[in-house]
Each structure stands twice: as structure tokens, then as C-alpha cells.
């Protein structure tokens, strides 16, 4: 394949880049939030049309810096879906004013390019660069309300934690280079197949990498930034960082550990298992006492990452399948929940859970959708979240990780309390008098479609499972 031909595989990235730059230029000429949003949305739709087909072969691109396989396509679909919904949420988010909106969409599209590159990177330095690019765009987006103290505080914390953890990761990469003499993942995997490595060295190496990615996925103990960043950021960006970087973090984790470093991976399974249990438990327990819904969802998404990690710890085909399904379901329901929060905050101008009292009477559609998304996050059948839990628990029990399955089960009971608390305010309590504004139709329709998706993925998950199975069948060869 000639160098020019390889560009067909990165057409989505190129389209996004062109549109991102175009948006920057356009924003000098016009300040309409709607038009710029529409332009960004067009970019995402076009990019998704040019996604590589799901295939069973894999192509190595740009001197094996990038790879194109079914696994990366799966995550590219998820990432583009996320950005599309986030743009719709941003367009319907009234607090987000037109000032600097061009930069906002530019950064969002840049972050998307970074995500697309990260999920297809096959080289440690490429992984590092794309993750840094994603992080830098996210830092600025979190601090986008520059006159709001909470927003700036969130961004600063996000930045400091991010800088520290990427530093650790970079150090880990340098050690890997020292041991293996290459940063190419396939080359490292080949070396590992033939020559056994010292268990201590390999654990240390992988833990450094894990530390860097734990920050992206907000795993304990690298989760401290999440609540402040989520609370301070514009809600559309909270939604974005709760799903986007997280999905990417897990994609990279799975690619490095499960695909390429499998022989090393056994050495740190216990540690990752503990990380999973602590992530679930700490996230869930702290979430109980939250009064701000964005902060509560921050802790909830920490806990959710713990469940995804179960599938990762198990490491078998069914474990990866469970993790992928969970990521898919989590993306749907968390985006949905944040979308509803944006709709609701447009009218009630508050993110306090107490102000949601009686919402079912004032805005029945949003309340109902939020209730469905929260119940799905809680893992109540027949919703997508339930089936995600089902898959990861099944993988854990199938591989005799009974402790992990029991911890996950107990945690999902704790979690129900705080999810249902929001529903209690919406449905059981009497409303305060607030004027409800008309909901922006595109966002509302998008949310209804996501809600139906959550229902279908829970009742009839077969098509999604087949898709996921296809995405990882090659991956485990």
C-alpha cells in the first residue's frame, strides 16, 4: 500500500480537521451558535460516513504508528457518536453563550480527532501524543466558563492531575523502551512471545502505564479531579469528559494489556482487581451524599468505570466482550442522563438535586427520560445498563473471579440508592413554582432516540452483541 493510499483510512480525521479549521475561520465572520454547531455536526456526520468498514483484516498505517482493525472501528463509531450528541447538547444548552463558541467547537472537534487517533494507535509514543492532545483540549473546555470560579478550579485540578499522571505514564513508556528497545506494540508483543520477562520489571512497567490511563478513565486513586471538573465544567463538557476520554482510556488499556502484553498482564491482575473494587466502592459510597447532580454523576461514573474494569480484569474473550458492551451501554445512558440535565437546567437554572422536586409534573418527558437513564445506570432490567452488568458479571463468574462478581453485585445495590433518590425528587415530591421553558426540539428528539436505544439494547441485545463480537474477534487472535 502506497503512502497516499493509507490516507483513505484516516479520512474521518482529515474531514474533522478541515471542518475544525473552517469553523475557526467562520467564527470570525459570524457568531451564530446554531450555524457553527450545524457545521460541527456536519463534520461528524461526514466523518462517520467515511469510517473504514468493519473488516477482519487489519491494516498497519504510517509505519505501524496507526492500525486499522475492527476494534478501532468500534471505538471510532462510539467516539463520533459521542461528539455528535455532545454537539446537539451544546446547541441546546442555554448557559453556553455565543461568545468564543467557534473556539469551543474547534476544541471539541480537535478532541475528537485525538480520540480517533488514540483508539487506533499502535505505538506507545503515538498513544501518548494523541492522549495528550485529547487532554489539552479537554482542560480548556472544562475551564470554558472563564469567569466562573468553579469552572476554572475544575480545569486547574484536571490539568494538574493530568500533568502528573501523563508524566508517570511517559516515564513508564521510557522504561518500556529501555527494556524492549522499541515502542511499537506489535514488536513488543512478538518479543514477549519468545523471551520471558522478569515479573517484577514487567509489573512496574505496566503499573506506570496503568497510572496514566487510570487518570483518563477516572479510576481510584486517580479519580480526585473528576467531581470538581464535572461540576465546574459546562454541562455539555461534563457529559463529554464522562464518556469520551473514558472510552478512549479503556480502548487503549484493552489494546495495550489484553492484546499485546497478555503474558505480562497476569502479574498485575491482583492489583487491577483491587483498583476495580475500590473504584466501584468509593465512587458509589461518596455518590450517596452528593446534593449536586453533576457531582453525583461524577462519582457515579467513577463507579461505572469500576464495573467496566471487571471485564478488563477477567481478560478473556467474554471479559473483553462484556467490557465493550458495558462501554457501549454506558455511553448511551450517561450521555442521555447529561442531556436531560441540560434540558432541565435550561429551565430551573440549577443543578441541585433538591430543585428537581416535582419535575415529573412540570416537564414529564425530560423527567421520564432521566428516570430511564438513571435506572439503566443502576442496572435495572430491561435496560442497557442491566445487560452490561450481566455481561461483566457473567465473565467474572465464568473465569472464577467470584470475589469480583460479589463486590460488583453489592455495589450495584448501593448505587440504586442514589440513583433512585433523584427519581424520588422528580416523581414523589411536590413541585416548586418555576416557569418551564420550551425544550429545544433537536436535542429532545436525540434524547428520545437514545432512550429507545437504551431500551432496545436491554431487551434485544443480540445485534449489538454480534457487532461487538465482530469487533474483538480479530483482536484476540
Partner 1 sequence: MSFPILTCIVFAPLAGSMLILFTPKKNVNLIKVIATLATAAALCLSVLLLIKFNYSSPAMQFEEKAAWIPSINAWYHLGADGISVGLIFLTTLLSFLACIGSSGIKIRQKEYFFLYLLLSTGMLGTFTGLDMVLFYMFWEIVLVPMYFLIGIWGGQRKEYAAIKFFIYTLAGSVFMLLGILALYFTSTPHTFDILELTKTGGALTLSVQILIFIAFYLGFAVKVPVFPFHTWLPDAHVEAPTPISVLLAGVLLKMGGYGFFRISFPILKDAAHYFILPFAILGMINIIYGALVAMAQTDFKKMVAYSSVSHMGFVMLGLASMTATGFNGALLEMFNHGIITAGMFFLVGVLYDRAHTRELDKFGGLGVKMPVYAGMLSVFALASLGLPGLSGFISEFMSLLGTYPTFKLITIISSLGLIITAGYFLYMLQRILLGPVNEKWSAISDINKRELLTLIPLLIIVVIIGIYPLSALKYQIAAISALVQNLGGIAF
- Residues forming the site for partner 1 (CB under 8 A): 360, 375, 380-382, 386, 390, 393-394, 397-398, 405-406, 409-410, 412-413, 416-417, 420, 424, 427-428, 460-462, 465-466, 469
Minimum CB distance to partner 1, residue 395 (Å): 9
Whether the CB-CB separation of 442 and 92 falls below 8 Å is answered with yes
| Closer Cβ to partner 1, 54 or 224, answer by number | 54
Dihedrals phi, psi of 292, to nearest 5 degrees: -100, 130
What are the beta bridge partners of residue 292? 352
CB count, 10 Å around CB of 3?
A: 9
Minimum CB distance to partner 1, residue 192 (Å): 30
| Closer Cβ to partner 1, 224 or 465, answer by number | 465
Minimum CB distance to partner 1, residue 307 (Å): 12
Quote the CA–CA distance of 304 and 377 in Å, as a whole number. Answer: 8
Minimum CB distance to partner 1, residue 398 (Å): 5
| Closer Cβ to partner 1, 58 or 469, answer by number | 469
| Closer Cβ to partner 1, 51 or 416, answer by number | 416
| Closer Cβ to partner 1, 135 or 444, answer by number | 444
Taking 3-state DSSP, the helix, strand and coil percentages for the chain, each rounded to the nearest 5, stand at 80, 0, 20
| Closer Cβ to partner 1, 279 or 360, answer by number | 360
Cell of 382: 430491561
Cell of 462: 443480540
Quote the CA–CA distance of 300 and 295 in Å, as a whole number. Answer: 9
| Closer Cβ to partner 1, 25 or 459, answer by number | 459
Residue 352, classed as helix, strand or coil, is strand
Minimum CB distance to partner 1, residue 172 (Å): 35
Minimum CB distance to partner 1, residue 390 (Å): 7
Minimum CB distance to partner 1, residue 127 (Å): 31
Helices then strands, counting H and E runs in the chain, come out as 20, 2
What separation in angstroms does the CA of 331 have from each of 13, 179, 279, 362?
Answer: 21, 37, 18, 27
Quote the CA–CA distance of 136 and 155 in Å, as a whole number. Answer: 10
CB count, 10 Å around CB of 359?
A: 28
| Closer Cβ to partner 1, 197 or 316, answer by number | 316
Minimum CB distance to partner 1, residue 132 (Å): 38
The helix-helix angle for 402-428 and 293-314 (nearest 10°) equals 160
Instruction: Establish how many alpha carbons lie within 13 A of residue 142's alpha carbon, considering only the half-sphere containing its beta carbon.
Output: 28
Cell of 354: 433538591
DSSP line for 168-186: HHHHHHHHHHHHHS--BHH
| Closer Cβ to partner 1, 430 or 435, answer by number | 430
Minimum CB distance to partner 1, residue 288 (Å): 12
Quote the CA–CA distance of 111 and 37 in Å, as a whole number. Answer: 15
Amino acid at each position: 500500500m502506497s503512502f497516499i493510499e493509507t490516507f483513505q483510512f484516516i479520512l474521518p480525521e482529515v474531514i474533522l480537521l478541515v471542518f475544525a479549521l473552517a469553523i475557526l475561520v467562520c467564527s470570525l465572520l459570524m457568531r451564530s451558535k446554531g450555524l457553527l454547531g450545524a457545521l460541527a455536526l456536519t463534520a461528524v456526520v461526514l466523518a462517520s460516513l467515511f469510517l473504514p468498514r468493519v473488516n477482519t483484516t487489519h491494516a498497519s498505517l504510517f509505519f505501524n504508528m496507526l492500525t486499522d482493525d475492527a476494534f478501532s472501528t468500534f471505538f471510532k463509531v462510539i467516539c463520533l457518536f459521542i461528539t455528535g450528541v455532545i454537539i446537539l447538547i451544546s446547541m441546546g444548552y442555554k448557559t453556553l453563550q455565543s461568545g468564543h463558541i467557534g473556539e469551543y467547537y474547534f476544541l471539541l472537534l480537535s478532541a475528537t480527532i485525538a480520540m480517533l487517533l488514540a483508539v487506533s494507535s499502535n505505538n506507545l509514543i503515538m498513544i501518548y501524543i494523541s492522549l495528550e492532545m485529547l487532554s489539552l483540549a479537554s482542560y480548556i473546555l472544562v475551564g470554558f466558563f472563564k469567569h466562573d470560579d468553579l469552572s476554572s478550579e475544575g480545569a486547574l485540578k484536571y490539568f494538574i492531575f493530568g500533568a502528573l499522571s501523563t508524566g508517570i505514564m511517559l516515564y513508564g513508556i521510557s522504561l518500556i523502551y529501555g527494556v524492549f528497545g522499541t515502542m511499537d506494540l506489535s514488536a513488543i508483543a512478538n518479543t514477549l512471545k519468545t523471551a520471558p520477562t522478569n515479573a517484577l520489571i514487567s509489573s512496574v512497567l505496566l503499573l506506570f502505564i496503568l497510572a496514566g490511563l487510570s487518570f483518563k478513565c477516572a479510576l481510584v486513586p486517580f479519580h480526585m479531579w473528576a467531581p470538581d471538573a464535572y461540576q465546574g465544567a459546562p454541562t455539555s463538557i461534563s457529559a463529554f469528559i464522562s464518556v469520551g476520554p473514558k472510552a478512549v482510556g479503556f480502548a487503549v488499556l484493552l489494546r495495550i494489556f489484553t492484546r499485546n502484553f497478555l503474558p505480562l498482564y497476569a502479574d498485575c491482575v491482583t492489583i487491577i482487581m483491587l483498583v476495580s473494587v475500590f473504584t466501584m466502592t468509593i465512587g458509589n459510597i461518596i455518590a450517596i451524599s452528593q446534593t449536586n447532580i453533576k457531582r453525583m454523576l461524577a462519582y457515579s461514573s467513577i463507579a461505572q468505570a469500576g464495573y467496566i474494569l471487571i471485564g478488563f480484569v477477567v481478560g478473556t474473550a467474554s471479559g473483553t466482550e462484556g467490557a465493550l458492551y458495558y462501554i457501549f451501554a454506558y455511553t448511551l445512558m450517561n450521555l442521555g442522563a447529561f442531556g436531560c440535565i441540560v434540558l432541565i437546567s435550561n429551565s430551573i437554572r440549577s443543578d441541585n438535586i433538591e430543585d428537581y422536586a416535582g419535575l415529573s409534573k412540570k416537564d414529564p418527558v425530560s423527567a421520564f427520560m432521566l428516570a430511564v437513564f438513571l435506572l439503566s445506570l443502576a442496572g435495572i432490567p430491561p435496560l442497557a445498563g442491566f445487560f452490561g452488568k450481566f455481561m461483566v458479571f457473567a465473565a467474572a463468574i465464568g473465569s472464577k473471579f467470584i470475589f469480583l462478581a460479589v463486590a460488583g453485585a453489592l455495589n450495584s445495590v448501593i448505587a440504586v440508592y442514589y440513583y433512585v433518590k433523584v427519581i424520588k425528587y422528580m416523581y414523589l415530591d411536590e413541585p416548586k413554582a418555576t416557569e418551564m421553558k420550551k425544550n429545544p426540539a433537536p436535542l429532545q428528539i436525540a434524547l428520545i432516540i437514545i432512550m429507545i436505544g437504551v431500551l432496545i439494547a436491554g431487551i434485544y441485545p443480540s445485534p449489538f452483541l454480534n457487532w461487538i463480537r465482530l469487533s474483538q474477534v480479530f483482536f484476540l487472535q
